Every structure is written in structure tokens, then in C-alpha cells.
Amino acid sequence: MLELTNITKRFPGVLANDSVDFTVEAGQVHTLLGENGAGKSTLMKIVYGLYKPDEGEIRFKGETVKLASPNDAIQRGIGMIHQHFMLVPTLTVAENVALGLRGNLSRADMGPVRARLRDLSEQYGLQIDPDAVIWQLAVGERQRAEILKALYRDAELLVLDEPTAVLTPPEVDDLFVTLRQLRDDGKGLIFISHKLHEVMDLSDEITVLRDGRVSGHTRPSESSREQLAQMMVGRPVELHRTLADVEVGEERLSISDLVVRGDRGTKAVDGLSISVKAGEIVGLAGVSGNGQRELAEAVLGLRPVEAGEIKVAGKPRPDPTPRGVRQLGVSYVPEERMKDGVVGEFTVAENMILVDYNKAPYTKRGLLDFGSIGRRSRDLVDRFSVKTPSIEQPTRHLSGGNIQKVVIAREFTCDAEVLVVAQPTRGVDIGAAEYIHERLLEQRLNGAAILLISEDLDEVLQLSDRIVVVLEGRVMGEVQRADATPQAVGLLMSGVTA
């Protein structure tokens, strides 16, 4: 169905794709696997007409094609679900689907669009209200809207760039049901994910990219998670961890009876209490949207506290603004790195000092000291293996996982005593995830108090001394490491108590 031959794509200072061959047949899920910055999204943007390859040939349904724009790709039957969504937030699902279609439909003509959307969503189990406005939808629903938009345009080949990175485990299950059905209907699917169990579960074919080149090809029946990790990274990767014994110290973060309102005005955190001691990782598990984000934002001074109390090192925060809280030695890895973690237009170096640029040695006598800023940035780029041609690169040009590494590098190296870490390895490749987990455990050994918020149950189970499960802004229950099984935590997450 799709045949890529010898595709090469260069950016200034970067060879993103290097003579790549890649084929997808109709009725097949072909997974593209590779480390952050390996060139997966670039290759897919070429398939979708967003980038023009410098060299190479694209054949689609037996014909050589030149794809000058996404419109070209869509006309030919190629659809793409992006790593960062592309819907218009103020329009409804149906309006987004109709957008750009011939004749630009007015609101009055939406009847047929709605009807066909309903048919499609029924056929493929993609539940959605065609009249819902995008910004009010949860990420899982937005994604269904994106898929429906592509299907509405009769896509025969669907590119899904890390579709599961933003989904909860039950949503992933639902998505996979849909994707299998699409495959069985004869669609070609290209799937990208860093989660190896998903890759093993869904793929028919797997192609591995490393540094822009195809480094291997395999199938789930001929491989294992360990082998896939090795193919990607070029060395064996530790997929399981044990915790070293640490003597826990005093209470560093204490939250009692906290009430915080969410964006829609309802109580997102509703009487929650939790405490984290020095040398301890407390995992906060729960299906997303149960108050985790609002809790983190309240602790960091990014969202007002309506009732209850937050104490750092035993005392109420004297200045509950983001700057005041950071001065107490609290650092934060936010869940949405593009929105809250970095300034995309800033360089890598600028983002590396975003939270402490006003301190020595980065500022001397009121002036920025570019020498020490450069030294620190280069050191962090090196230690955290951030893939970038230079520290002067605008951060938005980095691949998704490498942007996450910039945030992690900055937040893990400012001598924090309390770390609030949300979804630290979302979208991060397996080698980098291993590295981030090691750094997190190192912080624990050094006596930091860590609140780990993650939807990745494996991650929470592997790293936490205790797991607190939240549901609807309240604590559903707590499980000690020794008793923490996926079943025990999963049951609490769905609201079942012993």
C-alpha cells in the first residue's frame, strides 16, 4: 500500500532520516520503534506531506506520489493522528470534521456530517458526541475526534504518532479494539509507541529506527520486549527495578484536607490528605482527571487553595506563589511539558535555567552570565543525553522525548528537597526512561521527598515506597510496596475497596 524507498531528510545540523526503506501493506499494523529523536515523527510527517524529503521515493497504492501538503495526502487517502493534537478548540467535533471539506459547510448543513459521524463512530466503537465543543473534551475524546476526522475523509492509511502516550490503560484497550477493527477492514496502520508491551500486543510488523537509519526489522512472534529494547538502544536495558534501603527522615511535604477547584469550577481535589517524608517516593496512582494535576498545581502555587493546608518542611508556605514555593526547595516536572514545562521559542540553554536564572552563578550583579549558563546547559545536555545540534536550538525543534529530558534535567539538578513529578517518562524512550528512573531513585537516596504522579501503573509499582490511590479528588486507599500488585492498585483505582 505504502512503499518508502531511500528517504533522506536533513535539518540544519541534523540528519533526521537517512536512506530509510519502509513498507506498509493493507490490513496490517506496522510499528515504528526508536529512541527519542530517532526520526519517527519526521518520517511520518513526510508520509503526511508536511515535510518534503530531500531524497527518496514515496509510492502509494502502486503509484509514485509527490506529497506537497497534508491536503495532498488526505486526497489520496492518508490520514495522521499527531503527537500534539491539531483540532480547533472552539469548534464542535462535527465542525472540526467538516473544516476544510469542499464547499465549507455552514452550521445549517451539518446534519449529514453528524449523521455520517454517528455511523462511523458506531462502526468503529469511537464514542463521541458530534456536538461537543473540543476544548471541553478529555484527551481521549479529542483523539477519537481526530481519528473520526481521518475516517470521514476516507483514509485508507492511518498514521498514529504515539496515540497511547496521553491515554489511560482502559482507553488504550478501547483504542486497540478500534485499531484492530480498522486493520481487519483492510486499512493500513502505522503505529508509534515507546511502550513495548503495546508494541508486542498490536503489531504485525516492527521496524526499528536508530539515529535516522533503519536498524532492524522483526515481528512480535519472533521477538521479546527485552530484544526490542536492545534493538532500539543498542545495549541491554533494565526493565525491572528494586529499591535500595533508605532510612526515611522527617516529613517534608504535608497536605491536609486540601480542597482545590478545577478549571470548570468543580472541586477537583476534595478533602485530600497525603504526606511525603525525606527519602521516600510516594506514588500517586489513579485514572487521569481525578484531581492529580490540580493537586500538583496547588502545591506549586499555580492554583489557589480553597481549604485545607499545605506544609513544606513542617511549615505553611510563607509565599504561596510559584517563585515563593520554588524558593523553599520544591521542584516540579509538569505533566504537559509543552504548556507548562518549557517555553518553546526559547533555546535549550534558556530553558535549562528557566527556574533559577535569577540566582548565582547565572546572574551576577543583575546581569546574566552567559558563560556559566552555557557550561551548565552543555553539562546537562551531556548527562541527560538530550539530542540537539546545540544548546542554542529553539526547544520546540527538539523531538517530544528530548523536550521532556530538558525539563527533567533542569528539575532534578536544582538541589530540591521536595520533588513533585508528574508523568516523568511520558513519551520518553525506553533507554531514557531507565535513566530518568535511576535519577529519581538517586534523588530518593539523597533524601529528597518525592511525590510521583503517574498513570503508568508499571512505573508507580516499580518506584514507589507507598502508593496512594486517588479517585474523584479523594484518597481511595493506600498500599505499601510489599503489597502493591497491579490487581490491588487497579481495583482501588476503579473504586473498589477491600
Ligand X SMILES: Nc1ncnc2c1ncn2[C@@H]1O[C@H](COP(=O)(O)OP(=O)(O)OP(=O)(O)O)[C@@H](O)[C@H]1O
The binding site for ligand X (CB under 6 A) comprises 11, 14, 16, 34, 36-42, 387, 397-402, 429
State the Cα–Cα distance between residues 253 and 310, nearest whole angstrom.
7
Where does 387-429 have alpha helices with state H? Answer: 400-412
The smaller minimum CB distance to Mg ion, of residues 376 and 426, is found at 426
The smaller minimum CB distance to ligand X, of residues 167 and 298, is found at 167
> In whole angstroms, how close is the CB of 159 to Mg ion at the nearest point?
11
The smaller minimum CB distance to Mg ion, of residues 49 and 400, is found at 400
Matching residue, cell 538502544: 233
Choices 22-30, 33-41, 152-160, 196-204; region in contact with Mg ion by CB under 5 A = 33-41
The smaller minimum CB distance to ligand X, of residues 16 and 157, is found at 16
User: In terms of C-beta distances under 8 Å and separation of at least 24 residues, what long-range contacts does 292-295 make, across chains too?
Assistant: 292/335, 292/422, 292/453, 292/470, 293/268, 293/335, 293/422, 293/453, 294/260, 294/261, 294/262, 294/268, 294/269, 294/473, 295/255, 295/258, 295/260, 295/268, 295/269, 295/453, 295/470
The smaller minimum CB distance to ligand X, of residues 404 and 443, is found at 404
Choices 3-11, 339-347, 393-401, 461-469; region in contact with Mg ion by CB under 5 A = 393-401
User: Residue 79 binds which one of ligand X, Mg ion, none, with CB within 5 to 8 A depending on kind?
Assistant: none
The smaller minimum CB distance to ligand X, of residues 11 and 370, is found at 11
Contact string 341-380 vs Mg ion (x = CB under 5 A): ----------------------------------------
State the Cα–Cα distance between residues 185 and 178, nearest whole angstrom.
11
> In whole angstroms, how close is the CB of 432 to ligand X at the nearest point?
9
> In whole angstroms, how close is the CB of 415 to Mg ion at the nearest point?
32
What residues form DSSP beta bridges with 64? 59
User: Residue 11 binds which one of ligand X, Mg ion, none, with CB within 5 to 8 A depending on kind?
Assistant: ligand X
CA dihedral for 230, 232, 235, 240, sign (positive or negative): negative
State the Cα–Cα distance between residues 276 and 90, nearest whole angstrom.
40
> In whole angstroms, how close is the CB of 122 to Mg ion at the nearest point?
32
Q: Burial-class residue 273 by CB neighbours within 10 Å (0-12, 13-18, 19+).
A: middle
User: Residue 42 binds which one of ligand X, Mg ion, none, with CB within 5 to 8 A depending on kind?
Assistant: ligand X
The smaller minimum CB distance to ligand X, of residues 203 and 464, is found at 203
Choices 45-53, 274-282, 397-405, 445-453; region in contact with Mg ion by CB under 5 A = 397-405
Cell numbers at 54, concatenated: 530531500
User: Residue 223 binds which one of Mg ion, ligand X, none, with CB within 5 to 8 A depending on kind?
Assistant: none
**Near Mg ion in 399-438, by CB under 5 A:** 400
User: Residue 14 binds which one of Mg ion, ligand X, none, with CB within 5 to 8 A depending on kind?
Assistant: ligand X
Give CA 91 to chain center in angstroms. Answer: 24
User: Residue 406 binds which one of Mg ion, ligand X, none, with CB within 5 to 8 A depending on kind?
Assistant: none
CA atoms within 13 A on the CB side of 470: 30
The smaller minimum CB distance to ligand X, of residues 387 and 474, is found at 387
> In whole angstroms, how close is the CB of 50 to Mg ion at the nearest point?
12
What residues form DSSP beta bridges with 307? 259
Strand pairing report for 78-81 and 157-161: parallel
User: Residue 16 binds which one of ligand X, Mg ion, none, with CB within 5 to 8 A depending on kind?
Assistant: ligand X
> In whole angstroms, how close is the CB of 15 to ligand X at the nearest point?
8
SS3 content of the chain, % helix, strand, coil (to 5): 35, 25, 40
> In whole angstroms, how close is the CB of 493 to ligand X at the nearest point?
27
State the Cα–Cα distance between residues 443 and 415, nearest whole angstrom.
9
Mapped onto helix, strand or coil, the DSSP state of residue 364 is: strand
Residue 20 identity: V
Q: Which residue is nearest to Mg ion (CB)?
A: 41
> In whole angstroms, how close is the CB of 169 to ligand X at the nearest point?
20
State the Cα–Cα distance between residues 304 and 297, nearest whole angstrom.
8
The smaller minimum CB distance to ligand X, of residues 270 and 456, is found at 456
CA angle 206, 209, 213 (to 5 degrees): 130
For 131, 348, 494, the CA distances from 387, given in Å and listed in that order, are 42, 11, 39
State the Cα–Cα distance between residues 100 and 111, nearest whole angstrom.
17
> Do 126 and 46 touch, CB atoms closer than 8 A?
no
> In whole angstroms, how close is the CB of 197 to ligand X at the nearest point?
17
Using alpha carbons, select from 392, 322, 393 the residue that is nearest to residue 356.
322
Mapped onto helix, strand or coil, the DSSP state of residue 454 is: coil
The smaller minimum CB distance to Mg ion, of residues 212 and 400, is found at 400
Among 1, 7, 35, 41, binds Mg ion (CB under 5 A): 41
Q: Is residue 462 at the binding interface for Mg ion, with CB under 5 A as the rule?
A: no
> In whole angstroms, how close is the CB of 268 to Mg ion at the nearest point?
30
Query: How many CB atoms are located within 10 Å of the residue 376 CB?
Result: 20
> In whole angstroms, how close is the CB of 231 to Mg ion at the nearest point?
18
The smaller minimum CB distance to ligand X, of residues 399 and 464, is found at 399
> In whole angstroms, how close is the CB of 162 to Mg ion at the nearest point?
6
Please count the residues of this chain forming the interface with Mg ion, following the rule CB under 5 A.
Answer: 2
> Do 288 and 140 touch, CB atoms closer than 8 A?
no
User: Residue 397 binds which one of ligand X, Mg ion, none, with CB within 5 to 8 A depending on kind?
Assistant: ligand X
The smaller minimum CB distance to ligand X, of residues 311 and 387, is found at 387
- Residue ranges that bind Mg ion, judged by CB under 5 A: 41, 400
